[in-house]
Amino acid sequence: MATAERLVRSWMASEKDSEVDESVAGISSGQLTLLEIIRALGEFLTSEEDRLRTKGVEFLSSVLGRCPHERLNRQAIRVLTTFYCSKLEDLETIIPALNGLSYLVKFPNIQSAEVKDVLNAIFANVKMRALVQSTRFFVFSIVDSLIASHRDTLKEMGSTFLAGYVNLAVGEKDPRNLMLAFAIARVVLVEFDTHARIEDFFDITFCYFPITFRPPPDDPYGISADDLKQSLRLCLSATPAFGLLGIPVFLEKLTAGSPSTKRDTLHAMDVCLPVYGSTVSREFGKKIWSSLKLEIFQPTDPDTEHSALNTLQVLVRTMHTDKSQDAVSEDSITGLARDMCSECMQALKEPEKAPARAAMKVVCAFARADEISMTQNEVSNRASVVMLLTELIEACWGDATNASISQSSHSTLSPLTASKDALLGLLIVSLKAPATCLPALHGLTALVRTPELVADDELGYIVLEVSELLRKEPDEVEDVTTDTLALLSAIAGIAPHHLSSQTLPILISFLPDVTPSRDATTQRAFYWRALSSLSALCVQPQLFETLVVRLIAKLDLLCAISPTRTIDQESTTAYAHAILTALANTLDVKVSSKDVDVPKYAEQLLPHMFKLYLDAALASSEVVAIAADPRLLQVGARIIRLVSQTLNVARQEKLVAAVFAAYTQGDVKLITGGLLNSTTLFAPLHASATFTFPSYIPRQRNSFTLFSSAIVSLRKEVRMPVDNLSTFLSELVAWSDNPSSTAFQREAAVPHVSDFLTFQLEGYSSSALKNTSIPAEARKNAINTWISVTRALLVRSHPSANAFIDHLFELLDDSTVDWDAARAIGLLASEDVVLTKRNNAVFKILHVQKYFNAVMPRLLEGVKGSRKETAYLVALAYLINVVPKAVYVTQMPSLMPILLRGLDLDDPSIRSHIINTLSNNIEITSADKDAVSMYASTLVLAMLKNCMYSEMPDPGVRAAALKYLALLPGTVRYDLLHPYKTRVLKELAKVLDDPKRAVRKEAVIARYGMITFSDELVSFYVS
């Protein structure tokens, strides 16, 4: 008792710490109780004198601050609480009282009733603005301690607490207090129901954003700006409810702020966006993007740019994480992402400019964001995500291949490499679902095409998975075959061994050894699908080799000569034809792309082909020999021609020697590479043989097409292994003139003949062409031969060509063959399938023009005066149709009336030639206005007549006429056509019911053109 009194009094006099320590020691040891001290303080605590009262409370608080917690029981705490609360009302004691309370609330024995009392008293009496920093600090630490230990009580207090606290916190400026205030605010926002007061809390937190505090030089508080920023950020990101209010603030600061503010804002957004959620992000997505775009595309400094990219990633990720959204909002998300992407793509299109690199970075940011969101997404929106992913892989690829910006390609490849495994996994999984299959295929293609990205074993994995797709039955709606093949072909260029071990076996297993029966449509579709896939994939040399071996084996099986007619010959032939076509198609692609491995197939493929065909040709006509079918021979000839085109001189000579040995001497050993040994005589060229061996000679003669296909592409240096070329040629001509030759055989022989210069034919012309005594049919054949030969002369501008042409003109007077001769004159200028660069033919430039200039005047003259004007007209029509329009454009005005006259000719091909010519020239002729306009009415009526089914049986002419009608509205003034519009529409309505689909299609277009061809122009002309 006495001790307490002594201590109190001496403290009141001296204010020395030692007295406080002694009291605390006394309490700790049990010699003193707090109660005794309070009693000793009694007079001071209630003193009238302000100073004494303050000091009394101060002493009590100091003692309390150091007093061991277990020394106070609940009773004592209750008393002390009530005491302090009452002291809060006293202006003089408020400071020590708050100090005391700040210690008191830390005692474990304090009860919720007391907590409420303390807070209510504080809310009621403390005016923060009137207090100094240290005192306010007590208030914050009281609230802080209470939140730490009595959170439930505070929650019970509900809005009283929230409102009270907001009142306390508002306007706080000192960093030390703010640190506490932020911590409190975060807890409150996270744990309390702040829904009703969200705006208040928004005010007391966002008003500090962004923090511009700079610690004073000696840093007395030990608080840095970063600490503050950190804890404020935690507050801002405490609740999703801030989203709608907060983002506009962020955006505002972002546009207005200094670089450091911007960075701060971006960091805050990084933390906040995921909390605010996808709904808000979506709502503000566009605005955020446009702000970020500014930072990225026109960066103030690298740091800010980096932060902006980071934020963008967060944004995308946030938008994609929400799983519970409906389809419509889903679209808007991907819509925004797509907008972003496409903007970047736009920038990427100009890689030399600065934005491209920025866009690249955006896209890479996407890559990282997407990859994470993908795993969380539902199947419904995968497709679009995969699509975006593909776009960006493609973008990375396009950028990486662009050598001009090598620095950025380094930085772009790295993100892809880093996320390669994840990407691969995702894309492979996406392959399985029909909806995502197509985008996944595109994605894989893009991946595979990215240089140095996918490792070999990974390629193997891709091939394995993708090949499975080929196994499936094609889906009617989502046909992915083309894209699958594109992907596999891309891989074939890099790692063919995967394909040959995994894909080819699958495809080849679709090719049955036995032909499917006639009604097995699906099986047929399957084998053709497999064959087209194979021919698309096997362009690569290694794969092609495998393909050749496998397909030849199949063919040998199919075309085996069988003595009985057990198999369905027609469908087997069709199957073999399909296989050969696939082979030829692949070869065609290879030859066009000048693959170097083609020539070796002269040894690997051609002997097999010759064996196949010659074996069949030698078979007697009683047995079934599939390969003797002319249609198969045609494809075979195509293959032989393709290979032969690529051979060099030495190899061509070898090949020619072999085929000559076979066809002139009957020795088939050389050409078939020893595969065929036949006892039957092979003599296709033997004219008299027709009668001696009637049973199999037609087949042998048919096989002549193979001979000609090997020969047509010979280079001019290649020497023919015959003693006298002219004799051989005249024999050939005689052979082809033989009445027993079929059209097919002749077709084979003629191009060959034409390939070589010959003067022998002078005599031929007099004997065959002009000999009126032989049948017209034979003379027509002769004319066809004549065309080929003359054309061969023409293309190298040989002087004797003119003499040949003269013969044709003479024939125009002969009424039996005039038409054919006229056609021949026209066709001479046309292009030919045999005389092409690929077949090593030698061309003189402008030969067509020269020919045209030579022939045209004669024809025009003939049309005007001669009695055989029809024949001249025909020749003219054919000629004009085949020459380039630049050649005759200047003569068009004089040609127009002649052509219109030609429309009255009966022959459908003449009519369609003329109409085509007119169509081709419609722009040119309309340029000098009159040509078409003058004849507009005539033309319309003529075309209408030609497009009616009842008037013109030939659908080609009907379609051509309709095409012309469709062109008219674009070229002729409306007022000229107006009188005919109604009639044309009415007539065309009938044509819409034409039996031919292609004609109807043209009619629809023509009619549409007429319907829309109208009033605006009229009003234009009228006004």
Partner 1 sequence: MNGEIFNANPTVYASKRSTRKSKFEAGQSLWIDEQYQPEFSSESEVEPIDEDEIFDLIRSIADPEHPNSLEELRVVSAEQIKMGDNHIMVEFTPTVPHCGMSTLIGLSIRVRLMRSLPQRFKVDIRVKPGSHQSELAVNKQLNDKERVAAALENSALVETLEKCLSLLDDTTAGSKC
By C-alpha distance, which of 102, 203, 112, 134 is closest to 162?
203
Beta-carbon neighbour count of residue 739 at 10 Å? 10
Report the SS3 class of residue 965: helix
Closest to partner 1 by CB, 479 vs 717, is: 479
Return d(Cα 308, Cα 1020) in angstroms, integer.
Answer: 56
Q: Segment near partner 1 (CB under 8 A), from 397-405, 707-715, 813-821, 996-1004?
A: 996-1004
Q: Which is nearer to partner 1, 339 or 810 (CB)?
A: 339
Does residue 570 bind partner 1 (CB under 8 A)?
Answer: yes
Residue 685 CA to residue 692 CA, distance in Å, equals 13
For the record, the structure tokens of 237 come out as 């990101």
Tell whether residue 854 is a contact of partner 1 (CB under 8 A): no
Question: At its nearest, how many Å lie between partner 1 and the CB of residue 751?
Answer: 17
Q: At 83, list the tokens.
A: 């005491």
Q: Which of 242-250, 294-302, 519-527, 745-753 is the region at the interface with partner 1 (rule: CB under 8 A)?
A: 519-527
Cβ 235 to partner 1 shortest distance, Å? 36
Which DSSP state fits 666? -
Check: CB of residue 400 under 8 Å from CB of residue 409: yes
Neighbours of 475 (CB within 10 A): 11
Could you give the CA distance from residue 265 to residue 267 in angstroms, rounded to a whole number? 5
Sole binder of partner 1 in the list 74, 432, 929, 1001 (CB under 8 A): 1001
- What is the SS3 string spanning 796-823? CCCCCHHHHHHHHHHHCCCCCCHHHHHH
Please report how close the Cβ of residue 786 comes to partner 1 at its closest, in angstroms.
25
C-alpha 866: how far from chain center: 63
Separation between Cα atoms, residue 814 and residue 175, nearest integer Å = 116
Pick from 525, 776, 846, 927: which binds partner 1 (CB under 8 A)?
A: 525
Q: How far is the CB of 347 from partner 1 (least distance, A)?
A: 22
Q: How far is CA 849 from the centre of its chain?
A: 45
**Using CB under 8 A, which of 140, 528, 728, 764 touches partner 1?**
528
Write out the binding residues for partner 1, residues 813-852 only, by CB under 8 A: none
- Both ends of the chain: CA-CA distance in Å? 120
Segment interacting with partner 1 (CB under 8 A) among 163-171, 559-567, 794-802, 990-998 = 990-998
Q: Which of 160, 279, 300, 332 is the binder for partner 1 (CB under 8 A)?
A: 332
According to CB under 8 A, which one of 29, 886, 995, 1020 is a site residue for partner 1? 995
**Residue 646 and residue 638: Cα distance in Å, rounded?**
13
Options 198, 405, 561, 1005; binder of partner 1; rule CB under 8 A: 1005
Cα 595 to Cα 535, 598, 641, distances in angstroms: 15, 6, 15
334 part of the interface to partner 1, by CB under 8 A: yes
Nearer Cβ to partner 1, position 354 or 514? 514
Least separation in angstroms between CB 1000 and partner 1: 7
Only one of the segments 29-37, 148-156, 567-575, 650-658 lies at the binding site for partner 1 (rule: CB under 8 A); that segment is 567-575
Nearest to partner 1 of 137, 1013 (CB atom): 1013
> If binding is defined by CB under 8 A, does position 16 make contact with partner 1?
no
Distance CA 913, CA 905 (A): 11
Q: Does 581 bind partner 1 (CB under 8 A)?
A: yes
DSSP 719: P
- In the range 623-682, which residues lie near partner 1 by CB under 8 A? 631
Nearer to partner 1 (CB atom), residue 2 or residue 327: 327
Cα–Cα dist 170/242, whole Å: 18
CB of 515 to partner 1, least distance (A): 10
Instruction: Give the SS3 label for residue 253.
Output: helix
Quote the CA–CA distance of 290 and 276 in Å, as a whole number: 19
* Span interacting with partner 1, options 110-118, 135-143, 459-467, 985-993, rule CB under 8 A: 985-993
Closer to partner 1 by Cβ: residue 134 or 1014? 1014
Number of residues that bind partner 1 (CB under 8 A): 41
CB 23 within 8 A of CB 5: no
Coil, strand or helix: which one is 533? Answer: helix
Among 479, 603, 806, 813, binds partner 1 (CB under 8 A): 479
Residue 481 binds to partner 1 (criterion: CB under 8 A): no
Choose the binding region for partner 1 from 61-69, 533-541, 600-608, 951-959 (rule: CB under 8 A). Answer: 951-959
Q: Which stretch binds partner 1 (CB under 8 A): 195-203, 546-554, 570-578, 608-616?
A: 570-578
The residue behind tokens 């084979």 is 748
Among 842, 992, 1018, 1021, binds partner 1 (CB under 8 A): 992
Least Cβ distance, residue 345 to partner 1 (angstroms): 16
d(CA 1010, CA 992): 14
Q: Which is nearer to partner 1, 24 or 968 (CB)?
A: 968
Task: Specify the stretch interacting with partner 1 by CB under 8 A; choose among 191-199, 227-235, 361-369, 950-958.
Answer: 950-958
Exposed e or buried b per residue across 175-207, where buried means at least 16 C-beta atoms within 10 angstroms of its C-beta: bbbbbbbbbbbbbbbeebebeebeebbbebbbe
Give yes or no for residue 997 binding partner 1 (CB under 8 A).
yes
- How many Å apart are CA 657 and CA 653, to the nearest integer? 6
CB 717 within 8 A of CB 752: no
DSSP 71: G
Residue 158 is classified by DSSP as: T
Question: Judged by CB, which is closer to partner 1: 27, or 984?
Answer: 984
**Candidates 614-622, 648-656, 923-931, 1006-1014 — which segment interacts with partner 1 by CB under 8 A?**
1006-1014
Residue among 328 and 1022 whose Cβ is closer to partner 1: 328
| CB of 479 or CB of 622, closer to partner 1 | 479
Q: Which residue has the tokens 């065959």?
A: 768
518 forms part of the interface with partner 1 (CB under 8 A): yes
Window 131-170: contact mask with partner 1 (x via CB under 8 A): ----------------------------------------
Q: Is 901 exposed, middle or buried (0-12, 13-18, 19+ CB in 10 A)?
A: middle
Q: Which stretch binds partner 1 (CB under 8 A): 123-131, 571-579, 660-668, 757-765?
A: 571-579
Q: How many CB atoms lie within 10 A of CB 694?
A: 10
Report how many helices (DSSP H) and strands (DSSP E) the chain contains, helices first: 53, 0
d(CA 457, CA 217): 62
Region from 592-600, 854-862, 920-928, 993-1001 binding partner 1, contact rule CB under 8 A: 993-1001
- Contact status: 998 vs partner 1 (CB under 8 A): yes
Site string for partner 1, 954-973 (x = CB under 8 A): xxx--x--------------
Residues 342-381 that bind partner 1 (CB under 8 A): none
Bond preceding residue 908 cis, omega within 30 of 0: no
Give the pair of three-digit tokens for residue 760: 């022998």
Residues forming contacts to partner 1 in the complex (CB under 8 A) are 328, 331-332, 334-335, 438, 479, 518-519, 521, 524-525, 528, 570-571, 574, 577-578, 581, 631, 953-956, 959, 989-990, 992-993, 995-998, 1000-1001, 1004-1005, 1007-1008, 1011-1012
